[in-house]
A and B are shown apart, each in its own frame.
Chain A
Amino acid sequence: MVSFEQLAHLSWLVPAFPLAGALVNAALRRKLGANGSGALATLLVAASFVVSALLFWSHRPEEHPVEVVTLFDWIHVGGMSIPFAFQIDALSLTMMLIVTGVGMLIHLYSIGYMHDDPRVASFFAMLNLFTFAMLLLVMGANYLITFIGWEGVGLCSYLLIGFWYTNPAYNYAARKAFVMNRIGDVGVVLALALLFHLFGTLDYTAVLGRAGGFGVGNPLIVGATLLLFVGAMGKSAQIPLFTWLPDAMAGPTPVSALIHAATMVTAGIFLVVRSSVLFELAPFTKDVILAIGTATALLAASIGLFQNDIKKVLAYSTVSQLGYMFAALGLGAYSAGMFHVTTHAFFKALLFLGAGSVIHALGGEQDIRKMGGLKGVTKITYITFLIGTLAIAGIFPFSGFFSKDGILANAYAHSPVVYALLLFGALLTAFYMFRLLFLVFHGRYRGDRRPHESPAVITIPLIVLAVLSLGGGLLNLPHVFGGHEPMKHYLATAADGVAGEHLHLEAATEWILMGLSTVLVLLTAWYAYGRFAKRTTLDGEPADMPFLKRLIAEKWRIDELYATLFEKPYGWLSTTLFTFGENKVMTPLMNGVGNVTLRAGKVVRRLQTGNASFYLFAMVAGIIVFLLLTLYGV
């Protein structure tokens, strides 16, 4: 049996496998064939998963919590030394398992889903590249390695959103995603520069170890954490940088499942948990995170209520769930946030893949007004989607119940107001998810295509994810159910913020809170059933709706707001700076140098009369002047 240390030195294999897959798929994209490239990509991610799993099993957090594996010196200048190194600990292992495990299933699913696409090899190359970048992000032993992955996943997200590049709207969505992520990245880069300025290093162990030297509320630490959070806002789609995520649904559905639901968008949460020591020193930042997380959870959930595109509903639901996770982080409940990251990865991947299966079954139809009654035809998809819905709605004993309850309990302990808001958000979630479920699978079919169940390569990942969504709660079973919160204790070995968590609620209080939320969610589900299960027609266009409903259906008009506030003025600025600033000010300024010379020439050349006598006279006059100057001058 090899030891953890020995295995850890092979940890570079974990990102190396998908990178190799990306390169091979890109190089041989004409030769592998659809199944060949898919199989290659899937197997390589599976290999990463196996290595991650081996690492996980050999990991003894009590004895050896952290192992840092340095490959080589990356950037070394003066006092700055940034190694290319991986950090293997409880947090990175958790994320590695999620990324490779869920990623493997989604790769497998993609073989079926993307089978007929002519650029399937490119697709798998990008998907593998994404896995590579995401693994760098979670495995990095310093902030800059994480940042490589951070930018890398942004790039892959851009490429995959714009995968069908002949559609200008998709390209716009891709660009929007990249630019919004980049706005967040400004925060990250500045935070990193500030952290380097403060600590002289970016290694997690060193930075987090020395952070205790700064007092609570130190303005520099508060600034650094706020900047980090700006980055998290961009990557994890929080207010105000969330509008890219719904648009990102332009990409193929497996991409939405992997990148825009299960993994990449949780990078922000990962970063905050990774730096939890710093965030614990910055109560102000935590308040900001709590406020923004809660607001995002509610705003996105409200928009989800009236969406008619099956993927858009799930997208807003993702934004909303990310809001929950950030709310948990703002409350200092890092383990609850990470737990929700994990369960969300399961059930949201499941829901997206299920949605993909539905879209596949209907030959590309995404409008839920043209669905309905699919439960008879697509049985496996229906059952798994139902499990996903029950999980996200937070119904016992599905995984979402435990993770959401963990967040709600922490919220209650912090302030009843936050609790009430988050509970309200949970009810909205339950409502739009059950609306979606009933509209798609119940009632009568409203479309005109011939639905069919998807092949096994698509349904197997659904079944596996359904099992995980069902049993995922066991990962962090709370005390009231006789569990020991294993995930929390595991993560506590890696993140000091988790170790410092304390939540004291009476068992009775917890039971009441759980009962309350369960009853309310069930009532909501029942209400949704009554409204939508038997529907044969649906609301028309937003224009016919009352004002508030219309506003919500039009996504609070935030896209329009941003277009008016930023995009148009920026375009105007660009044009004006060029036509006015550049052509009317700067260039004439430069030409001025030449013009002054020309004008001066025009004046001075009058002296050149061509009259020899005059020249002679001038010469003599000059001589006399110089003579006088020499004789009597200064």
Chain B
Amino acid sequence: MNEITTAIRTVPLEHYVFLSFVLFSIGLAGALFRRNTIIILMCLELMFNSVNLLLAAFSAFHSDPSGQVFVFFIMLVAAAEVTVGLAILVMMKRNVDSVDVNQLNRLRW
């Protein structure tokens, strides 16, 4: 266990933060601007993972295991979320015969 934390600490914290920020931004941009729902889901996963990375890094640098607990927690939630998301996706495909998110605009009012 100690080796992993030591290994993580060999890279400075700023790099983790930077990488995480880049991953998150890519995910966010994808979620905002792509119309394909599958890609949006993937982008969401990307954002989750950027946060996970950040949590793991801080956890190692602060010697506080609770951050890693959160990582597992988030992974669990992400898995659940993806099942629901994919189910919606399937229903969407069946109903409007498309995976374009803009087709799904009947949710207003």
Contacts and interface: CB of A to CB of B under 8 A. Distances in A.
Contacts of A620: 28, 32
B32 A612 contact: no
A620 B32 CA distance: 9
B31 A616 contact: yes
A611 B102 contact: yes
A609 B108 contact: yes
A617 B32 contact: yes
Contacts, number: 30
A610 B32 contact: no
Interface in A386-410: none
A3 interface: no
Nearest to B104: A612
Interface string A582-595: 00000000000000
A597 interface: no
Interface in B66-109: 101-102, 104-109
A616 B105 contact: no
A616 B106 CA distance: 16
Interface residues of A, number: 10
Contacts of A197: none
B35 interface: yes
Contact of A613 (B101, B106, B107): B101
A95 B108 CA distance: 86
Please classify how large the interface on chain B is, using the bins under 10, 10 to 19, 20 to 34, 35 or more: 10 to 19
A608 interface: yes
Interface string A568-612: 000000000000000000000000000000000000010011111
Contacts of B104: 610, 612
Interface in B16-61: 28, 31-33, 35
A619 to B, nearest CB: 10
Contacts of B108: 605, 608-610
B109 A613 contact: no
Given A611-B102, A613-B101, A605 B32 contact: no
B86 to A, nearest CB: 16
Contacts of A608: 108-109
A616 B33 CA distance: 10
Contacts of B32: 613, 616-617, 620
Nearest to A623: B28
B106 to A, nearest CB: 6
Contact of A611 (B28, B33, B105, B109): B105
A10 to B, nearest CB: 84
Contacts of A605: 108-109
Nearest to B28: A620
A605 B102 CA distance: 18
Given A605-B109, A616-B32, 20 more contacts: A605-B108, A608-B109, A609-B105, A609-B108, A610-B104, A610-B106, A610-B109, A611-B101, A611-B102, A612-B101, A612-B102, A612-B104, A612-B105, A613-B32, A613-B33, A613-B101, A613-B102, A616-B31, A617-B32, A620-B32
Interface of A: 605, 608-613, 616-617, 620
19 contacts: A605-B108, A605-B109, A608-B108, A609-B105, A609-B108, A610-B105, A610-B107, A610-B108, A610-B109, A611-B102, A611-B105, A612-B101, A612-B102, A612-B104, A613-B32, A613-B101, A613-B102, A616-B31, A620-B32
